[in-house]
A and B are shown apart, each in its own frame.
Chain A
């Protein structure tokens, strides 16, 4: 019978106490009536099953009753329930969103089989840790390396698609045939590339992305075997990749093969392809790095001039996230945790106050015979309901915030733009809610039940002991401290953002409309055919009302950061190993005028600079200063971009690589001096238009002009120069905005925390204030007394907050763009702001204290 009695422990204790003995009696009699051993065994099995099922049902029945009661109780106190639910929603919602994002970007495996074996292979040059590979070095690396199961390569490419309705400029990739097997991905339909597709002279074939197949071909599988026209060449579609395949970027719409000719392997300084490898099982990234370094040393010996100081870098594909992106996300994670702690501190304060306020009610219920465990269960049900409501709100908040944070998902990762709201997010929200409610709901509930006794029934009893007050003060101090950390961190990051935004890019950013018209080869292989197009377009655009000037360039600054070539001066090779390279751009006359890049000396390129006249160049000031310091560079010669060139002008430097990175000096060459069929990647394709009208008003006319010049020529990348430059600081700006929102909420919560604590204290000390006033204290004395209490709390929070903020700022130093981690202005402003916010929270309780009427209080006593 003891076994059955033990089994009954599965029931709630109250139920067991009520019916346990009787159930044992019944079971005993049933057992006695049962015949043989078999019948007794049957009875035991049936008893086990029915106890289990009935115990669950009874527990659920009790929980439902408690939840119903708690729900009604919360409905009766919206002043408590609404702020508590909002606190859980804000704290957990912010954390769920930020941590989902961080998990998505930094932790979650990439969408490839065994993604930990995938690595990227780069060349390493002096001053460049991650340089693309030259096809020649790639071929040698691939032949010599033993660490890789396969080593593929790819590069991005934009091509014109015609013959599918309106001409389109689409992004794609040129790849080696083994790229897909390296990544471990098979096509959705059709076949992958084979070695045959990647041989010189092989028929041109292409694979399409799933999205592109859906939008352009309506998901029709008969696309296989059909031809598409890319840059005036015909490609046979051999397959479509699956929907989750986004490599190398989310924008990739097609893949084609390199089909390298022998001449592609001639120049080892022509770095333009990216290596991607799958390590052999058991080989680590470090081992692969060591092996590749040895191979690079061997190649350096073999090709001492071209491969001088050329090393290799092997990094896990997962680690492609830049240090800045990583730090931006981690900083937001830290801020979200701070916000959660503040929200929890406020929640704990709210629950403490509520438990104190209900002390009398609980005491009455205990004195009338209520079980303390029953009361505890009810209080916990309240916390549970708050958690569930807040948790659900948090999932909604997180789902709403995540798309706004998509700018923080680096483009370098082959993953979706917006992290999906998935089961991980729900589990995270659930976990955080459980932790919050357990940590801050259970303690006040236990405390309230323990203190519920007859002494609580005495009229005029003071609720909340010294211990409780200390706990609540400590929570408020923690809130202030964390708010200061957040305030200073976001203050410093705002200053850093302003610093970056204030960097002079070296050109005009406002009132410039930019449009890309990438001319396809071989249609525009001949220089004179291109000239005809440029002249027609520029002449018509310049005539448009409101257009002041217009010009073409190979690629606008900050749009393309590549195109870096070695420089040779006085017959001496100044190769990249010496860190003396420059960016190469072809421009049409008037580019400097359009972009307001000052011509410091000499002249602009002109229409008379052709392939039949001496090759000339306009260089930036830093270029001139590097080779001819304190000399007039005009008329000097240097070898660059396959030709000897004479300097005819010097212009101001521009930030080719963006606002936060140092740029190489710039060399601009006349657009008519591109020899036929040479340097096709550098043909001018970005049109910049300086206009006095709002730039979007011009788009329609510009489209018409380009369609007039070549109806098959698509235009793409229509945006203003301001948008391009703003894109440089976009992830910073998003992070700063999120951080500012968190900080605003944190400061508000800290102010409310102080307000709540002091309001409660004032309500408890009404009698004391009444007596003080009756004994002659002035209203101003009482006001000062309450205010000083708030000030003490604020200062107690500010001191550790300032210290912590300094350490946080040191950790964020690489994001601060030169702003000092101990920046006095930020620290002092944050201190004043935080102190003011907390004092503001003190004023109302202080006024409440002043309004205490001594006679009323004394009479009540």
Chain B
């Protein structure tokens, strides 16, 4: 992949949430949906169609890969595929977080967002 992290910014919210979900562990599709919903207090409920369109694009960009590591058979479903964040994916997620952080700082300096004490 010749893309640099900055060249992929800004990320679509769905992509960012999926990267965050995969940041700490490998997950299958439904687990990603549940994790995103949990992190956002149910505000974002990804549908299967949106999730897999994003996954397809992220695979093409090299942000994630499909991993062959699977859980024990009694905990597994053969239809499931597990995804892992790549170093590029991690770098892109960090870059996006940094970008959002700068935006937040800017908003604070303008008084749009209250300053933290």
Interchain CB contact under 8 A, A19 and B56: yes
Q: A15-B56, A18-B56 are in contact. Are A25 and B30 (CB under 8 A)?
A: yes
Q: From residue 46 to 70 of chain B, which have CB atoms closer than 8 A to chain A? A: 47-53, 55-56
Interchain CB contact under 8 A, A19 and B79: no
Interchain CB contact under 8 A, A22 and B52: yes
Residues of A within 8 A of B5 (CB): none
Stretch of A44-52, A218-226, A578-586 that contacts chain B: A44-52
A21 contacts B by Cβ under 8 Å: yes
Residues of B within 8 A of A57 (CB): 53
Interchain CB contact under 8 A, B48 and A30: yes
Residues of A within 8 A of B56 (CB): 15, 18-19, 58
Closest to A33 in B: B34
15 residue pairs from A and B, CB less than 8 Å apart = A19-B52, A21-B79, A22-B28, A23-B29, A23-B48, A25-B79, A26-B29, A26-B33, A26-B51, A27-B48, A47-B48, A47-B49, A53-B49, A54-B49, A57-B53
B77 contacts A by Cβ under 8 Å: yes
Interchain CB contact under 8 A, A54 and B53: yes
A24 contacts B by Cβ under 8 Å: yes
Residues of A within 8 A of B (CB): 15, 18-19, 21-27, 29-30, 46-47, 50-51, 53-55, 57-58
Residues of A within 8 A of B47 (CB): 46-47, 50
Residues of B within 8 A of A (CB): 28-30, 33, 47-53, 55-56, 77, 79-81
Residues of B within 8 A of A46 (CB): 47
Q: A22-B80, A24-B79, A25-B77 are in contact. Are A51 and B30 (CB under 8 A)?
A: no
Residues of B within 8 A of A19 (CB): 52, 55-56
Please measure, in the bound complex, the distance between the C-alpha atom of A443 and the C-alpha atom of B80, giving whole angstroms.
40
Closest to A25 in B: B79
Chain A binding surface, main DSSP class: helix
Please measure, in the bound complex, the distance between the C-alpha atom of A51 and the C-alpha atom of B47, giving whole angstroms.
9
B49, B52, B53: most-surrounded residue (chain A CB, <10 A): B49
Cβ contact of A50, chosen from B29, B50, B55, B81, cutoff 8 A: B50
Please measure, in the bound complex, the distance between the C-alpha atom of A21 and the C-alpha atom of B48, giving whole angstroms.
11
Interchain CB contact under 8 A, B30 and A23: no
Please measure, in the bound complex, the distance between the C-alpha atom of A47 and the C-alpha atom of B52, giving whole angstroms.
13
B53 to chain A, nearest CB (A): 5
Please measure, in the bound complex, the distance between the C-alpha atom of A25 and the C-alpha atom of B29, giving whole angstroms.
9
Please measure, in the bound complex, the distance between the C-alpha atom of A21 and the C-alpha atom of B78, giving whole angstroms.
10
A21, A26, A51, A53: most-surrounded residue (chain B CB, <10 A): A26
Residues of B within 8 A of A51 (CB): 49
Closest to B53 in A: A54
A6 to chain B, nearest CB (A): 15
Interchain CB contact under 8 A, A25 and B80: yes
Residues of B within 8 A of A15 (CB): 56
Please measure, in the bound complex, the distance between the C-alpha atom of A18 and the C-alpha atom of B60, giving whole angstroms.
13
Please measure, in the bound complex, the distance between the C-alpha atom of A47 and the C-alpha atom of B47, giving whole angstroms.
7
Please measure, in the bound complex, the distance between the C-alpha atom of A54 and the C-alpha atom of B55, giving whole angstroms.
13
B83 to chain A, nearest CB (A): 11
Interchain CB contact under 8 A, A22 and B50: no
Residues of B within 8 A of A25 (CB): 29-30, 77, 79-80
Interchain CB contact under 8 A, B49 and A23: yes
Please measure, in the bound complex, the distance between the C-alpha atom of A737 and the C-alpha atom of B44, giving whole angstroms.
69
Residues of B within 8 A of A21 (CB): 79
Residues of B within 8 A of A18 (CB): 56
A250 to chain B, nearest CB (A): 58
Please measure, in the bound complex, the distance between the C-alpha atom of A796 and the C-alpha atom of B47, giving whole angstroms.
65
Interchain CB contact under 8 A, A26 and B30: yes
Please measure, in the bound complex, the distance between the C-alpha atom of A27 and the C-alpha atom of B52, giving whole angstroms.
12
Please measure, in the bound complex, the distance between the C-alpha atom of A23 and the C-alpha atom of B29, giving whole angstroms.
8
Contacts beyond the supplied A24-B79, A27-B48, A47-B49: 4 A-B pairs with Cβ under 8 Å: A15-B56, A18-B56, A22-B81, A26-B51
Residues of A within 8 A of B28 (CB): 22
B107 to chain A, nearest CB (A): 32
A52 to chain B, nearest CB (A): 9
Please measure, in the bound complex, the distance between the C-alpha atom of A58 and the C-alpha atom of B51, giving whole angstroms.
13
Residues of A within 8 A of B50 (CB): 50, 54
Residues of A within 8 A of B49 (CB): 23, 47, 50-51, 53-55
The 8 closest A-B CB pairs, nearest first, are A54-B49, A50-B49, A25-B79, A23-B48, A19-B52, A26-B48, A50-B47, A21-B79
Residues of A within 8 A of B80 (CB): 22, 25
Residues of A within 8 A of B77 (CB): 25
Cβ contact of B33, chosen from A30, A50, A54, cutoff 8 A: A30
Residues of B within 8 A of A24 (CB): 79
Please measure, in the bound complex, the distance between the C-alpha atom of A30 and the C-alpha atom of B50, giving whole angstroms.
14
Please measure, in the bound complex, the distance between the C-alpha atom of A57 and the C-alpha atom of B30, giving whole angstroms.
22
Interchain CB contact under 8 A, B52 and A23: yes
Please measure, in the bound complex, the distance between the C-alpha atom of A783 and the C-alpha atom of B12, giving whole angstroms.
67
Residues of B within 8 A of A50 (CB): 47-50
Residues of B within 8 A of A27 (CB): 48
Residues of A within 8 A of B79 (CB): 21-22, 24-25
Interchain CB contact under 8 A, B53 and A22: no
Please measure, in the bound complex, the distance between the C-alpha atom of A27 and the C-alpha atom of B49, giving whole angstroms.
9
Closest to A53 in B: B49
A3 to chain B, nearest CB (A): 14
A743 to chain B, nearest CB (A): 53
Please measure, in the bound complex, the distance between the C-alpha atom of A25 and the C-alpha atom of B82, giving whole angstroms.
13
Please measure, in the bound complex, the distance between the C-alpha atom of A531 and the C-alpha atom of B59, giving whole angstroms.
98
Please measure, in the bound complex, the distance between the C-alpha atom of A58 and the C-alpha atom of B56, giving whole angstroms.
10
A452 to chain B, nearest CB (A): 25
Closest to B28 in A: A22
B7 to chain A, nearest CB (A): 18
Q: A25-B77, A25-B80 are in contact. Are A58 and B53 (CB under 8 A)?
A: yes
Residues of A within 8 A of B48 (CB): 23, 26-27, 30, 47, 50
Please measure, in the bound complex, the distance between the C-alpha atom of A54 and the C-alpha atom of B29, giving whole angstroms.
17
A40 to chain B, nearest CB (A): 15
